[in-house]
Amino acid sequence: MKPHEHIAQFGTVNGELRVGNVPLSRLAARVGSTPFFAYDRARLDARIDRLREVLPSRIELSYAMKANPMPAVVQHLARRLDRIDVASGLEMLTALDTTMPPAQVSFAGPGKAPAEIRQAVAAGVIVEVESTTELRRVIAAGEDLGVTPNVAIRVNPDFAVKGSGMRMGGGPQQFGIDAEIVPEVLREFGGSGLNFLGFHVFAGSQNLNAEIIVEAQRRTVDLIVDLAEYLPVELRYVNIGGGFGIPYTERDQPLDLDTVSAGLHDLVAGPIATGIPSDASVVIELGRYLVGESGVYVTKVLDKKVSRGTTYLVVDGGMHHQLAASGNFGQAIRRNYPLAVGNQADAPTADHVTVVGCLCTPLDLLGDNVALPHADIDDLIVIFQAGAYGFTASPTAFLGHPAPAEILA
Ligand SMILES: *Cc1c(COP(=O)(O)O)cnc(C)c1O
Q: What is the per-residue pLDDT for 229?
A: 96
Instruction: Look at residue 163 and tell me whether its pLDDT is greater than 80.
Output: no
CA 182 to CA 75: how far, in whole Å?
A: 35
* pLDDT confidence bin for 161, thresholds 50/70/90: confident
* pLDDT confidence bin for 191, thresholds 50/70/90: confident
117 CA from centroid of ligand 1 (Å): 20
Number of neighbouring beta carbons within 10 Å of residue 69 = 17
Q: What angle do CA 217, 223, 229 make, to 5 degrees?
A: 140
Q: How many residues are recorded in the chain?
A: 409
Q: What is the per-residue pLDDT for 222?
A: 97
Which runs of consecutive H residues, i.e. helices, occur in 97-209? 114-123, 132-145, 182-189
- Best mutation site among 47, 66, 130 for ligand 1, i.e. most ligand atoms within 8 A of its Cβ? 66
Residues 211-254: pLDDT tens digits? Answer: 999 999 999 999 999 999 999 999 999 999 999 999 999 999 99
Q: What is the per-residue pLDDT for 199?
A: 98
Residues 36-57: pLDDT tens digits? Answer: 999 999 999 999 999 999 999 9
Instruction: Look at residue 168 and tell me whether its pLDDT is greater than 90.
Output: no
Task: For residue 30, give the amino acid letter.
Answer: R
Q: What is the per-residue pLDDT for 67?
A: 98
109 CA from centroid of ligand 1 (Å): 10
Which residues lie closer than 8 Å to 237 by C-beta, 6 or more apart?
A: 126, 152, 197, 198, 199, 200, 280, 281, 283
Could you give phi then psi for residue 4, rounded to 5 degrees?
-65, -25
Q: What is the per-residue pLDDT for 190?
A: 86
CA 89 to CA 326: how far, in whole Å?
A: 29
Q: What angle do CA 131, 137, 139 make, to 5 degrees?
A: 105
* pLDDT confidence bin for 340, thresholds 50/70/90: very high
In CATH terms, the fold of domain 3-39+293-408 is: Lyase, Ornithine Decarboxylase; Chain A, domain 1 (2.40.37)
φ/ψ bin of 15: left (φ > 0), alpha (ψ from -120 to 50), beta (otherwise): left
CA 165 to CA 362: how far, in whole Å?
A: 24
In CATH terms, the fold of domain 69-286 is: TIM Barrel (3.20.20)
Q: Where are the domains of the chain?
A: 3-39+293-408, 69-286
Q: What is the per-residue pLDDT for 248?
A: 97
Please state, rounded to an integer, the average pLDDT across all residues of the chain. Answer: 97
* pLDDT confidence bin for 373, thresholds 50/70/90: very high
| Residue of 144, 146, 143, 88 whose CA lies nearest to 120 | 88
75 CA from centroid of ligand 1 (Å): 19
Instruction: Look at residue 166 and tell me whether its pLDDT is greater than 80.
Output: no
- Atom in ligand 1 nearest the alpha carbon of residue 87: 15
- The protein residue whose alpha carbon is closest to atom 15 in ligand 1 is 109
For residues 115-131, give the mean pLDDT.
Answer: 98
% of the chain at pLDDT higher than 90: 95
- The protein residue whose alpha carbon is closest to atom 7 in ligand 1 is 205
Residues 264-308: pLDDT tens digits? Answer: 999 999 999 999 999 999 999 999 999 999 999 999 999 999 999
Which residues lie closer than 8 Å to 360 by C-beta, 6 or more apart?
A: 399
Residues 73-100: pLDDT tens digits? Answer: 999 999 999 999 999 999 999 999 999 9
Instruction: Look at residue 170 and tell me whether its pLDDT is greater than 90.
Output: no
Instruction: Look at residue 165 and tell me whether its pLDDT is greater than 80.
Output: no
* pLDDT confidence bin for 385, thresholds 50/70/90: very high
Q: What is the per-residue pLDDT for 160?
A: 83
* Helices and strands in the chain: count of H runs, count of E runs: 12, 22
Query: Is the fold of 3-39+293-408 the same as that of 69-286?
Result: no
286 CA from centroid of ligand 1 (Å): 6
Q: What is the dihedral of CA 324, 326, 329, 331, to 10 degrees?
A: 110
